């Protein structure tokens, strides 16, 4: 019987690791958050931009970024609005603000619960002058901080990386 239990546990471990194959883990130095990022991507420093940025070494226009914004500590995500309302606000103020030369469409917006926290998962089609892009993001609010974690690629590669990007974006978690 113990041999059977050991085989079942070994099978479960192999299945779990296969689900995250090709992904590495990242944890913030302060232990506040963690996420998965694709193998072969490297972290880059951006001054005056997102707190964390990774990009693909081969397809350098594929990026992963985390922006942390201070907000009213008494707010919760639902007070900011529905997933669609927050997605539209993000589209207008960050992704395609007036004068940026970009146009963006909120393709999908959904809400999910991870323990006590609400996450909004957002998908955008972004139109630039010279190319089209696709972006996935997740937004969560905790202790006066709004975390916006996003993965972006050009539209040509979207079909190839879509499932991986969904796995990466939904891997974002708050640890404290």
pLDDT of residue 6 exceeding 80: no
Confidence of residue 20 (pLDDT cuts 50, 70, 90): low
Judged on CB neighbours under 10 Å (0-12, 13-18, 19+), 79 is exposed
- Residues 70, 89: Cα–Cα separation, whole Å: 16
Confidence of residue 168 (pLDDT cuts 50, 70, 90): very high
Q: What is the mean pLDDT of the chain?
A: 87
pLDDT value of residue 10: 35
pLDDT of residue 11 exceeding 50: no
pTM of the predicted model as reported, rounded to 2 decimal places: 0.85
| Inter-residue contact 91 to 107 (CB < 8 Å) | no
- Residues 124, 107: Cα–Cα separation, whole Å: 5
pLDDT tens profile 105-133:
999 999 999 989 999 999 999 999 999 99
């Amino acid at each position: 019987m113990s041999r059977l239990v050991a085989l079942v546990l070994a099978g479960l471990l192999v299945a779990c690791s296969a689900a995250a194959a090709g992904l590495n883990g990242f944890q913030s130095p302060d232990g506040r958050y963690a996420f998965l990022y694709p193998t072969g991507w490297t972290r880059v420093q951006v001054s005056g931009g997102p707190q964390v940025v990774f990009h693909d070494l081969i397809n350098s226009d594929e990026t992963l970024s985390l922006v942390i914004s201070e907000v009213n500590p008494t707010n919760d995500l639902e007070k900011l609005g529905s997933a669609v309302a927050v997605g539209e606000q993000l589209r207008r103020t960050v992704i395609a603000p007036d004068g940026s030369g970009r146009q963006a469409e909120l393709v999908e917006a959904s809400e999910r619960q991870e323990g006590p926290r609400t996450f909004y998962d957002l998908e955008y089609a972004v139109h630039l002058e010279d190319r089209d892009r696709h972006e996935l993001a997740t937004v969560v609010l905790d202790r006066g901080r709004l975390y916006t974690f996003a993965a972006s690629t050009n539209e040509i590669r979207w079909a190839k990386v879509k499932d991986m990007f969904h796995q990466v974006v939904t891997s974002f978690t708050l640890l404290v």
